[in-house]
Structure 1
Amino acid sequence: MPVVTITTEVSFDVAVIQDDVIKSEFNRRADVKKWAHDYWQSQQPPEKTIEDFDDEELLDELENRDIDLPQMETIHRVYRLLASRDIEAAMDELHREFGLAPPSHECAIADLLSGTSRSPAHV
């Protein structure tokens, strides 16, 4: 008996397919999973570090973001506080300099979202 193979183009609206059906089919087919992952990775821009930029590019970006030098000094102070693991002081500095929400408010939100409770030292 001869075997005939027919190939045709098919299109369908993914929006009408239930999510659990798509998920189970996606997980069932390892080759599709690998293809989707590889395709997604190929669409990502290459990662860059600060060393990939010259001084002019960095200064232009600071200007585009409207960050002036006094703000950069604050950012450096906050960065040093974070490096020394003084999170509370870093949050206080950001609150004071940039008018962000009070640290106690942000900590309370973080506690609610994470389901944890921190000591009342800063709340």
Structure 2
Amino acid sequence: VQSDNIRLSVNFLMNSRSVRGGFEFGEVREVGMTVRANANAGMDTKEFAKYFFETIVPLYPDTAETGQRVAVIVDIGPGRVNVDMLARLRIRGFYLIPQVFQTPRMLPKPLTRTMIYSSLSIERTR
């Protein structure tokens, strides 16, 4: 990331707290906050897929094997309807649901066990 594109203070990252949760680990663990961006300080299709598979998917490692599903509601942006990524996620038991532009707080949440990540909302079905 180039210095003139930085929109996030390093102090914010140093003072942020971890999230404690059970997820699919079988025990409560602390998971640190993550921030990703491409060279333009944004998140394109490639960066979004990389972030999702390295950060979100590992929180639920046994989803496909147990027959459970994880619905992830994301903001609108590049890569949210990437067919290759959606197919890879579906095989692992994940459903990616892009929000309608400018309406993330207005849509009803039909599933349970919601966890909020800055622009991600993860919901788990039983």
What is the TM-score normalised by the length of structure 2? 0.24
Larger Rg: 1
Q: Point out the structure with the larger helix share.
A: 1
What is the TM-score normalised by the length of structure 1? 0.25
Q: Point out the structure with the larger strand share.
A: 2
